[in-house]
Amino acid sequence: MNYIIEQSARGYDTLSVEALLATKRRIFLTNPVDSDNCAEIIRQLMFFNSQDAAAEIVLYINTPGGEVDSGFAVYDTMRMIDAPVRTVCIGVCASMGALIYLGGERREMLPHSRLMIHDPSFGGGSYAGKKPHELQAEVNKLSETRDALCRVIAERTGRTFAEVCEKTATDTYFTPEQAIEFGLAHAVAERI
């Protein structure tokens, strides 16, 4: 982690770059989406919201995606707090990263960034020895998750559920211009 030395009335303070950015209400998601980093993001969102519910929070995202439940927890928190959240894709927002990105009131992408949406897939684990009804139950859960993801994408983009399902059937990548056209993004970032 990088540190900055600042002079204050107390003398010299050593602060992490992350701590300095947090004072400006900046949050980063730059790892796979999991329960640990999502819990930290949720805490930061809630803290910043309690400090000033009218001031913008900026969430910078560069992630390959990850856990569905953890991603939905961040998305729901973003949608439920009063403070406006601006999301900025700074590399790739893939899978659950794209869903979190869609939680922003204002959604921007850097000029060479990409967004990727797709259907959820089975995580780890072995299905060896499972009975047909057990496998069918897993498929049903996966289908429910797919429907929930597609509903969110449709709601946030203004596209129909069928249009979204067509795009998520495979890994679909969007340049900033394509993402704007589809309704995933609002603009190419002019400032970060």
Q: What is the pLDDT of residues 37-60, one digit of tens each?
A: 999 999 999 999 999 999 999 999
Residue range 147-188, pLDDT digits in tens: 999 999 999 999 999 999 999 999 999 999 999 999 999 999
Q: What sign does the dihedral 116-39-37-50 (CA atoms) show? A: positive
Per-residue tokens: 97:
């990263």
Find the domain containing 80 and state its range: 3-188
d(CA 50, CA 57) in angstroms, rounded, equals: 12
**Which CATH number does the domain housing residue 100 bear?**
3.90.226.10
CA–CA gap between residue 150 and residue 146 (Å, rounded): 6
Q: Which of 35, 112, 113, 118 is catalytic?
A: 118
Tell me the percentage of the chain whose pLDDT exceeds 70: 97
Picking from 63, 68, 179, the residue whose alpha carbon sits closest to that of residue 120 is: 68
CB atoms within 10 A of CB 45: 22
Answer with the residue of higher pLDDT: 34 or 14. Answer: 34
Q: Residue 21 corresponds to which tokens in the numbers above?
A: 């950015």
Burial of 134 (0-12, 13-18, 19+ CB in 10 A): exposed
User: Is 95 known to be catalytic?
Assistant: yes
Which is catalytic among the residues 95, 113, 126, 133?
95
Count how many domains the chain has: 1
Based on the residue annotation, tell me whether 121 is a catalytic residue of this protein: no
- In this prediction the pTM is 0.90
Look-up: residue for tokens 């927002």?
A: 93
Are 98 and 65 in contact, with CB atoms under 8 Å apart? Answer: yes
Which DSSP symbol is given to 46? H
Q: CB–CB of 152/102 below 8 Å?
A: yes
